[in-house]
Amino acid sequence: MERKRGNQTVFFNNKPKIIGHYSIVGPKEGKGHLRKYFSQIEEKDDFFGQKTYEKAERVMIERALDGAIKSANAKYSDVHLFMAGDLLNQIISSSYAARSFDIPYVGVFGACSTMAESLALSACLVDGGHFDTIACATSSHFSTAERQFRFPLELGNQRPPTSQWTVTGSGADVVSIKGNGPRITSATFGKVTDFGINDVNNMGAAMAPAAMNTLIAHFKDTNTTPDDYDLILSGDLGKLGSEILIDLMEDQGYKLGLNYKDCGQMIFKRNQNVLMGGSGCGCSATVFNSIIMKKLIAGEYKKVLFMATGALLSTTSSQQGDTVPGIAHAVVIEGVEK
């Protein structure tokens, strides 16, 4: 059967469904706006019972994967592939978490776009009939990200006003051709976009142009407008990045209205001292796999455009004077079929 294809957008004929989902967060996220929606909150501290933050991060992925599979009423042996990635060098959180499961594994990397990237790829593989059931996950951890990308926490450095706060959390989904759940109906794969931002404390601005490109490609490929979605959800542009996106879109003739939200602005409360809001792979992963999935399942949202953005830099690229390229991948998720 010939599949419908747009320039950057693929359409899924066989209705891959999200039959399981799970979100786990740290104490700070648990005190935020979405407290009642998360599957699990670690209240005590962000070590998750481990000796290092890096080991804590992989425990989050393990618990998220385990929880998503259980929430799908599935067994490990029902899951034919695990697809994951994260921000740590060589995505060790994902790979070491995968070690605990007897499931074939592929690593992916899209920085903070990883949740959308892995959902999009999983939907392709399930829709194409190569796998019945795939689990995908991503994570981030404030303390591992800070010491890898910025400064050791012990230094107590001041944070610039444009900075965001890396979410400590992990989200996982089980995508399957069987079972029931919200359907992934299309995916738009983004292009790397670089508008010359070189301020590593202003990721929102670096990612907004990529978000704009992917949104416009999506609307053109699918012949839709922002009004066709109950919710357009960006990953972690934060307050500044979202405002830039709204302006950029308006310049291109697209009005993002009240149905546009950003995970980075949803997760924390104003008094939590997070400046421009949440960020990190775990930001969109936990917001999507808490309030958004619950509202999709409840029928409150019928059609959601979930677009996660990533800043594709490393400390080495910054030290060598490179600007920060961004990317954004988007998936359309529609409510449970009656």
Residue 67 touching a copy of itself (CB under 8 A)? no
Residue 76 touching a copy of itself (CB under 8 A)? no
Q: Residue 291 or residue 324: which is nearer to a copy of itself going by CB?
A: 324
Name the helix (H) or strand (E) containing 297: helix 293-298
Q: Which of 41, 74, 124, 245 binds a copy of itself (CB under 8 A)?
A: 124
Task: Evaluate whether 158 touches 187 at the Cβ level (below 8 Å).
Answer: no
Q: Which of 25, 41, 69, 108 binds a copy of itself (CB under 8 A)?
A: 108
- Candidates 61, 50, 123, 126; CA nearest to 87 is 61
CA distances, 141 to each of 57, 170, 220 (Å): 6, 9, 36
Alpha-carbon gap, residue 259 to 242, rounded angstroms? 13
Q: Which of 103, 200, 216, 336 binds a copy of itself (CB under 8 A)?
A: 103
- Candidates 230, 252, 233; CA nearest to 290 is 233
Shortest distance in whole angstroms from residue 214 CB to a copy of itself: 9
Alpha-carbon gap, residue 260 to 41, rounded angstroms? 27
Residue 127 touching a copy of itself (CB under 8 A)? yes
Q: Which of 64, 68, 79, 91 binds a copy of itself (CB under 8 A)?
A: 91
Shortest distance in whole angstroms from residue 180 CB to a copy of itself: 21
CA distances, 80 to each of 58, 122, 178, 266 (Å): 20, 11, 13, 33
Is 317 exposed, middle or buried (CB count within 10 Å of its CB: 0-12, 13-18, 19+)? middle
Stretch that binds a copy of itself, among 118-126, 151-159, 222-230, 294-302 (CB under 8 A): 118-126
Q: Which residues bind a copy of itself (CB under 8 A)?
A: 1-3, 5, 8, 10, 52, 54-55, 80-81, 85, 87-92, 95-96, 98-99, 102-111, 117, 121, 124-125, 127-132, 148, 189-194, 312-317, 320, 322, 325, 327, 329
